[in-house]
């Protein structure tokens, strides 16, 4: 098992090096003058389809999906537990199925509550 995670670590290193090499090549080509670099104030301004940008865009922002994020956290943890159940389903048999059904039923109550409170709407 450790060998295999080692292989994945090596792949991560190889992929990062490969992907990072592309901007580096572009940078080197700019250094030797094959690619242009002529910045002007207009060119470096933020592109908003011709409008002049007003202020920064790092402002307080209504992210709108606070409710989704909460539901996501609850259900994602559930999903991981259900994966363990699914792999061992044949050994756990009917008892495991009943447990999983009860588990899902409890979450279904929360889900229906969120639906009724209109937390599943994009407001």
Partner 1 sequence: MAPIQSAEQTVLAIRPEGLPAFWPADNPWLHALVFIVASIAFALVMVIVFIYVERRGVARFQLRLGPNRAGPEGVLQAVADLIKLLLKEDIVPRLADKVVHLLAPIVATVPAFMVFAVVPLWGDGAMLADLNAGVLYFIAISSFGVVGVFMAGWASSNKYSLISAMRGVAQMVSYEIPLVMALLGVVVFAGTLSLNGIVDAQSIPFALLQPLAAVIYFLAMSAEINRTPFDLLEAESEIIAGYHTEYSGMKFALFYVAEYGHAVAGAAIFATFFLGGWKGPVLPPVLWLVIKMLVVFFVGFWARATLPRLRVDQVMGLGWKALLPLAVINVLIAAVEVLFWPSGTTQWLLVPINIAIGALLVFLWSRTVSLRGGRVEVRTRAEVKA
- Provide, rounded to whole angstroms, the least separation between the CB of residue 70 and partner 1: 10
Interface with partner 1 in residues 16-75 (CB under 8 A) = 16, 18-20, 22-23, 25-27, 29-30, 34-39, 41, 43-49, 53, 56-58, 61, 63-65, 68-69, 71-72, 75
Q: Supply the DSSP string of the chain, one letter for each residue.
A: -HHHHHHHHHHHHHHHHHHHHHHHHHHHHHHTTSS-----TTTTS--STTPPP-S-S-S----S-HHHHHHHHHHHHHHHHHHHHHHTHHHHHHHHHHHHHHHHHHHHHHHHHHHHTTTTS--
Single residue of 99, 106, 115, 117 touching partner 1 by CB under 8 A: 115
Question: By rule CB under 8 A, what count of residues binds partner 1?
Answer: 72
Nearer CB in complex with partner 1: 15/113: 15
Q: Check binding of 116 to partner 1 (CB under 8 A).
A: no
């Amino acid at each position: 098992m450790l060998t295999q995670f080692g292989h994945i670590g090596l792949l991560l290193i190889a992929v990062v090096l490969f992907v990072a090499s592309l901007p580096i090549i572009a940078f080197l080509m700019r250094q030797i003058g094959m690619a242009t670099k002529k910045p002007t104030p207009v060119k470096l301004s933020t592109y908003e389809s011709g409008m002049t940008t007003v202020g920064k865009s790092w402002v307080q922002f209504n992210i709108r999906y606070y409710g989704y994020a909460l539901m996501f956290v609850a259900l994602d943890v559930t999903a991981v537990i259900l994966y363990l159940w699914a792999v061992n389903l044949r050994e756990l048999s009917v008892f495991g199925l009943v447990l999983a059904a009860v588990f899902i039923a409890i979450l279904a109550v929360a889900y229906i509550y969120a639906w009724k409170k209109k937390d599943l709407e994009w407001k």
